[in-house]
Amino acid sequence: MEPQKEARTSPALVARPPGASRSQRLSEEERREGGASLVASTLDAEADSASAEGLWELPVEPAERRPECSRCSRPQKVCLCPFLPVHPLHISTHLYIIQHPAEENKVLRTVPLLAACLPQDKCKVKIGRRFSEERDVELSTVCRKSSTLILYPGAEATDLEEFILDSPVYPSTIIIIDGTWSQAKDIFYKNSLFRLPKQVQLKTSVSSQYVIRMQPTNTCLSTLECAAVALSILEKNSHIQETLLRPLQALCSFQLQHGAQIRLSKEYLLKNGLYPKPMPRNKRKLRKMELLMNSVKI
């Protein structure tokens, strides 16, 4: 199932928070399938390491984990490599994904698919919530360059397509935050570094194809979709968007065929009176919901 033997998502490119061990990073899927007891026993073993001297000599059964494809990071049985380009796409833009630590453990994460489609030196994933100039010199240098953009929607953001028409410096790097909307907001506003680059947004009427995770509106795009649209604009090549979305479409159709339900957006559910939870009491939240129902951009 795997046309290329080479592992594309190099761990060296993924900056992990200090102390995060594999045992703490088991995916939800693994937990569901009995991984939880393995996690507990591994963590217990770590905690009791002082009293466990000598036990290390005993033969240990290898931990049973579902083997993961080294290229697409999907379980081998549902490897998506046949839907990835045979060779990484040729791009000149550098992409930095700032990933909230909670995203890394999600079963249906899209960033490994994105990284597998791009050259290793053009797609870097940084995991964390807080980034400072002292702790991340590379990122701070990137954020200070006039040719770096950050994709984060809002009143301050310029439409990417309009921006490149007028910009005297052609963008060389784009930063995208990967997380839920509230996680992304927290990362953007609590790290002053991310307000240094020019803030851009995508003006797109494309509905998200990532139908198996709930998005606030039909036009809220997943990180992979955002990267696909942004890169195709920056590289002036619509083929990039098609290629990057192919594995996502395959992932969604596979999940749907295997019992996943289409997660309709909050906007759709509200407009059609299908929203399953009671309306919030908090006035600000209620106002947000009303705006969503009336499709006013928030």
Which residue stretch of 78-86, 127-135, 185-193, 203-211 sits at the interface with Zn ion (rule: CB under 5 A)? 78-86
Helices 238-257, 223-234: inter-axial angle, 10-degree rounding: 160
* 248 scored as a contact of Zn ion (CB under 5 A): no
Residue among 15, 81, 151, 175 that touches Zn ion (CB under 5 A): 81
Contact between 298 and 286 under an 8 Å Cβ cutoff? The reply is no
Site residue total, Zn ion (CB under 5 A):
5
CA distances from 38 to 28, 31, 34, 62, 231 (A): 13, 9, 7, 11, 40
Q: Supply 43's token pair.
A: 């963590």
Which residue stretch of 43-51, 60-68, 72-80, 161-169 sits at the interface with Zn ion (rule: CB under 5 A)? 72-80
Q: Which residues contact 133 (CB under 8 A, 6 or more apart)?
A: 140, 193
* 113 scored as a contact of Zn ion (CB under 5 A): no
As a dihedral over the C-alpha atoms of residue 196, residue 143, residue 11, residue 211, rounded to 10 degrees, the angle is: 50
CA distances from 119 to 63, 159, 257, 288, 293 (A): 32, 26, 31, 40, 41
Closest CB to Zn ion among residues 79, 125: 79
Residue among 15, 26, 79, 220 that touches Zn ion (CB under 5 A): 79
* C-alpha Rg value of the chain to the nearest Å: 21
Which residue stretch of 54-62, 75-83, 210-218, 281-289 sits at the interface with Zn ion (rule: CB under 5 A)? 75-83
* 221 scored as a contact of Zn ion (CB under 5 A): no
Which residue stretch of 80-88, 199-207, 218-226, 235-243 sits at the interface with Zn ion (rule: CB under 5 A)? 80-88
Q: Which residues contact 292 (CB under 8 A, 6 or more apart)?
A: 216, 217, 266, 267, 270, 298
- Smallest gap from Cβ 253 to Zn ion, in A, equals 16
Closest CB to Zn ion among residues 157, 251: 251
* 228 scored as a contact of Zn ion (CB under 5 A): no
- Smallest gap from Cβ 60 to Zn ion, in A, equals 28
Q: Which residues contact 242 (CB under 8 A, 6 or more apart)?
A: none
Which residue stretch of 43-51, 61-69, 186-194, 199-207 sits at the interface with Zn ion (rule: CB under 5 A)? 61-69
Residue among 15, 72, 193, 244 that touches Zn ion (CB under 5 A): 72
Helix residue ranges, H only, 32-110: 36-47
* 69 scored as a contact of Zn ion (CB under 5 A): yes
The residues binding Zn ion (CB under 5 A) are 69, 71-72, 79, 81
